[in-house]
Homo-oligomer: A and B are copies of this chain.
């Protein structure tokens, strides 16, 4: 990968952290936590996925320990969101789009990091999805809800599909890696936005009691 691509991914990753922090603040805002509780939820939402990936892959130092810029971005995004929501309605539609972009970024950067450590394609795709979704899962557990990704909306599905497309293009074609990256991200974003727009769901599974 070229230096410009690495730079772009780093900036996108910081953007993803900011977006997920914002979604953490908005989730926390429905539970009447105190201000530090809101910050904690925002941090956990933003770094939970990448931290779980790093621990499972024995990748140390964990990303936010080796580069505290992530924490700075999270704190700034959190405070800005708290300030903003005191004065204005949160722009729900823009946020859904930003969240889809955050999911796409985390999924593809998760796949790339795992590619450097593990050779199994299945594990790469799983770690990509873990990077994208576990932060939101921990956020939901801490605010005492059944995690959203288990229930709805083609969320983990979009991450798995995008990571798979990225990996297939990367391995089977001679396209530049930036094309694989962008296509994988488009798959994630496209599936998420389509699911939101047309209320697509996977079938539910419910046993009779």
Contacts and interface: CB of A to CB of B under 8 A. Distances in A.
Interface stretch (A15-23, A118-126, A162-170): A118-126
Interface residues of A, number: 57
A104 interface: no
A131 to B, nearest CB: 14
Contacts of A152: 34
A36 interface: yes
Contacts of A174: none
A62 B142 CA distance: 24
A29 B206 contact: yes
Nearest to A27: B207
Contact of A150 (B37, B71, B90): B37
Nearest to A146: B144
A171 interface: no
A201 B34 contact: yes
Interface string A4-41: 00000000000000000000011011111111111011
A68 B55 CA distance: 18
A43 B122 CA distance: 14
Interface string A51-73: 10001111011100100100100
Contacts of A51: 56
A196 interface: no
Given A36-B156, A65-B123, A141 B141 contact: yes
5 contacts: A29-B205, A31-B146, A33-B151, A58-B58, A144-B144
The 8 closest A-B pairs by CB, nearest first: A37-B150, A29-B207, A34-B202, A58-B60, A33-B150, A32-B206, A35-B202, A38-B205
Interface of A: 25-26, 28-38, 40-41, 51, 55-58, 60-62, 65, 68, 71, 82, 85, 90, 118, 120, 122-123, 126, 137, 141-147, 149-152, 156-157, 160, 201-207, 209
